[in-house]
Chains A and B, each alone.
Chain A
Amino acid sequence: GQNIDQPTEMTATEGAIVQINCTYQTSGFNGLFWYQQHAGEAPTFLSYNVLDGLEEKGRFSSFLSRSKGYSYLLLKELQMKDSASYLCAVIKAAGNKLTFGGGTRVLVKP
C-alpha cells in the first residue's frame, strides 16, 4: 500500500513564505506531484519531481528526496489568491495511477 502524509492546514501572511511538507511510503515510486485546488474548482498541476533536488517555477518550488520519502512545496511572496488546498500525489512505475495525500489547506491572511 501507500501512505502519504501532509499537514491538514497552514496559515500564513501575505508576502511571506510557506513550506508544505509531504512524506510518503510506497513501493515502485516513479514521481511526486503537487496540485493546487481552489474551493469548488478542479485541481491544477503545479509540479512534478522524479529526481532528487529542487525544481523552481516562479514563486513556487518543489523539492524531492527519494531516499527519505520526503517532498515539500515552497510558496514564496504569498498572495491572497494562493489560499487553496495543495495536494501531494505519488505515482507508481506502471501506469498513471496517482495516489493522493489528504491535502493541505493554506489560508493567506492580509
Chain B
Amino acid sequence: ETGVTQTPRHLVMGMTNKKSLKCEQHLGHNAMYWYKQSAKKPLELMFVYNFKEQTENNSVPSRFSPECPNSSHLFLHLHTLQPEDSALYLCASSQDWGGSVYNEQFFGPGTRLTVL
C-alpha cells in the first residue's frame, strides 16, 4: 500500500459514454499527477496539480478533463474516448511540485481502462 488509492480498478466503456476516474491520497501531499501507461509504450505524464492548481498539461486531448477539488482528491473525467485511449491510468502524489529538491512520487495501483 502506497497511500494512494484509485477507483475503479477496471473500467470498460463505449466511445459515447462519460465516466470518471478517482484518485485519493492519504499522505498529506500537495501535488497530484495523472499518468497514462499504454502497452509497449513508456509511462507518460498527462497532468500535474500543485495545491489544487493545474501546473502541467502535457498536450492531452480535451476528451480527458482533470479536476482537483482539494489536495487529497484528483479526478479524470472521460468523454467521447477512442479505442486507442485504452490503457492503464496511474495517479501519483508527492509533497509538492517544483523547487530544487526532488520529492518522491508515490503511485496508485491504476485504473485499467478499455474503450470499445
Q: Report the interface size class on chain A.
A: 20 to 34
Given A48-B104, A96-B31: A42 in contact with B90 (beta carbons within 8 A): yes
Q: Of the 9-residue stretches B11-19, B61-69, B74-82, B106-114, which lies at the interface with chain A?
A: B106-114
* Measured CA separation A43–B112 after assembly (Å): 14
Whether the pair A100, B42 counts as a contact (CB closer than 8 A) is yes
* Measured CA separation A48–B101 after assembly (Å): 12
The residue of chain B having its C-beta at the shortest distance from the C-beta of A30 within the complex is B102
Residues of chain B at interface, number, CB under 8 A: 27
Q: What is the distance, in angstroms, from A93's C-beta to the closest C-beta of chain B? A: 8
Name A102's contact: one of B4, B42, B55, B108 (CB within 8 Å).
B42
Tell me the residues in window 19-70 of chain A with beta carbons closer than 8 Å to chain B beta carbons.
30-31, 35, 40-45, 48, 50
Given A42-B110, A43-B90, A44-B2: A98 in contact with B42 (beta carbons within 8 A): no
Please report A residues at the B interface, Cβ cutoff 8 Å. Answer: 4, 30-31, 35, 40-45, 48, 50, 87, 89, 91, 93-103
